[in-house]
Amino acid sequence: MEAGAGTERGARTRALYEQLLAPVARQVDAELTNEGHNLPAELRDMYDYAVGGGMRFRPCLMYLAYLVCSAGMGGECGRDGGDGCGSCIGLDNLIQLASAVELLHKASLVHDDLIDGDTLRRGRQSFHEAFGSERAVVMGDLLVAMAHDVVERMRSVLPTGVYSQIRSRFNKAHIDLCRGELLELVASLCERALARDYVDRVIEGKTASLMEQSMAMGAIIAGAPAARVDALARYGRCMGFVFQTINDINNLTGFDLGVKGQAMTDLALGRVGYPVLGLAMIAGAEETGLFARAPGIRRVEGSGDALRELVQGGQLCVWLEGIICEYAGRARQALEALPECGARDALDAIGREMFESWFWNPEARVDSLGGGCSEESPPAN
């Protein structure tokens, strides 16, 4: 595809995002603000800092799944009151559930930045840099507790069967998240860490599961049959692998320096992912270890030129592109199991841009959309 065509497609998709998803992102912002009103006044500034910013990506995925299933059942939920349709439940409940997902996600970012020692998040101070490590630990815990409280409060407004599915999937996403993060942290102690199945378990836990369950829960709220719920869950899971792999590539190529205050930390900290796995396979474990021990690799721009060359060109680049195409292809196959409709096409178009361009391509940033992205700070996960 010519560059001009790609730019035109991106512009159309951004317009579609602004029309379809930005209003939902703003509703989730408002819901998160309301949740903060339940906290003591002394904690609200810290809370606002912890949950602020970002495009509300996972809530947007949930809403897209809801739209796809609503359209596939012959009407727009919330308006026609059709049999089994999410209109019986209501869009307000989806927004509430989406805020719980966002609280859980933001908790993971507060803890993740602290563990990795990242000084920046979206170009501003990370929470622990702004408020201290002790408060970061407890704020992350508080956000998790608030997320589960939001879901628990939905017990009285959702049909019993729907609530049971939502609670089960939300709990699974939380357990998977913690398990994936711990597997990543113990990778340096595990002989099997540089194996594809180990990398898959890390990514599935720390990234893919919450995207998978967000889409599944959106479909459940819409009253979708099990086959459609499963198809959208597969889409979210596979695109989670795309998302994380592009994220990891940018860590090794230095893009993270301006976003998180440091780059190439995956090697220095012994984190696993497809770029590190491919590097070990192609360059060898000894060479990979030399890169990890390079002086200044975490903070000094230009210190990883040789590493960037490996990732951006040659055999490693081709291998990583193959991994991304593999999971993106699986995701699109999942969408083919869904009825053709405008909402499915929107999910496909927006999904391509969100997962593959907007978040990780500095030349294709989305500014001032959704949940508070600014011109000074690129969108972040």
Joined together, the tokens standing for residue 182 give: 């711990």
Q: How many angstroms separate the Cα of 143 from the Cα of each of 150, 153, 344, 345?
A: 10, 15, 32, 34
Residue 233 within any structural domain of the chain: yes
pLDDT of residue 363: 38
pLDDT of residue 258: 65
pLDDT in tens, 200-259: 999 999 999 999 999 999 999 999 999 999 999 999 999 999 999 988 888 877 766 666
Tell me, what DSSP letter sits at residue 121? Answer: E
In the predicted structure, residue 378 carries a pLDDT above the cut 50: no
In the block, residue with structure tokens 């609670």: 167
Rounded to whole angstroms, the Cα distance separating 167 from 170 reads 5
Q: How many angstroms separate the Cα of 115 from the Cα of each of 102, 148, 213, 316, 364?
A: 20, 23, 25, 28, 29
- DSSP code string of 48-88: HHHH--S--HHHHHHHHHHHHHHHHTTS-TTTS--TT-GGG
Global pTM?
0.85
| Other CB atoms within 10 A of residue 277 CB | 22
Burial (CB count within 10 angstroms: exposed 0-12, middle 13-18, buried 19+), residue 362: exposed
pLDDT in tens, 309-355: 666 667 888 899 999 999 999 999 999 999 888 888 888 887 777 66
Tell me, what DSSP letter sits at residue 354? Answer: I
End-to-end CA distance of the chain: 27
Residue 79 within any structural domain of the chain: yes
Joined together, the tokens standing for residue 106 give: 């933001």
Residues 6+ apart with CB under 8 A from 98: 24, 28, 31, 56, 58, 59, 62, 63, 214
CATH number at residue 301: 1.10.600.10
- Helix spans in the chain (H): 3-20, 22-36, 44-51, 57-72, 91-116, 127-131, 133-153, 160-185, 196-203, 209-221, 226-253, 256-260, 265-269, 274-283, 285-292, 305-312, 314-336, 342-353
Q: Which amino acid is at 262?
A: Q
| Other CB atoms within 10 A of residue 56 CB | 29
Q: Please, which residues bridge with residue 125 across strands?
A: 120
Reduce the DSSP state of residue 124 to 3 states and report it: strand
User: Residue 144's domain spans which residues?
Assistant: 15-344
Residue 47 within any structural domain of the chain: yes
Cα of 217 vs its chain's centroid, Å: 15
Residue 221 within any structural domain of the chain: yes
Residue 172 within any structural domain of the chain: yes
Q: How many angstroms separate the Cα of 367 from the Cα of each of 22, 53, 230, 311, 373?
A: 12, 12, 33, 27, 6
pLDDT of residue 266: 83
In the predicted structure, residue 282 carries a pLDDT above the cut 70: yes
**Is residue 130 within 8 Å of 122, Cβ to Cβ?**
no
pLDDT in tens, 36-84: 999 999 999 999 999 998 889 999 999 999 999 987 554 443 333 333 3
Rounded to whole angstroms, the Cα distance separating 118 from 200 reads 24
Residue 99 within any structural domain of the chain: yes
Residue 369 within any structural domain of the chain: no
Q: Across the chain, what does the average pLDDT equal?
A: 82
- DSSP code string of 305-352: HHHHHHHHSHHHHHHHHHHHHHHHHHHHHHHHTSPP-HHHHHHHHHHH
Residues 6+ apart with CB under 8 A from 181: 108, 111, 112, 115, 205, 206
Q: How many angstroms separate the Cα of 193 from the Cα of each of 128, 179, 264, 298, 361?
A: 29, 14, 18, 22, 28
How many CA atoms are closer than 13 Å to the CA of 251, on its beta-carbon side?
Answer: 24
Q: How many domains does the chain have?
A: 1
pLDDT of residue 358: 53
Residue 227 within any structural domain of the chain: yes
| Element holding 120 (H helix, E strand) | strand 120-121
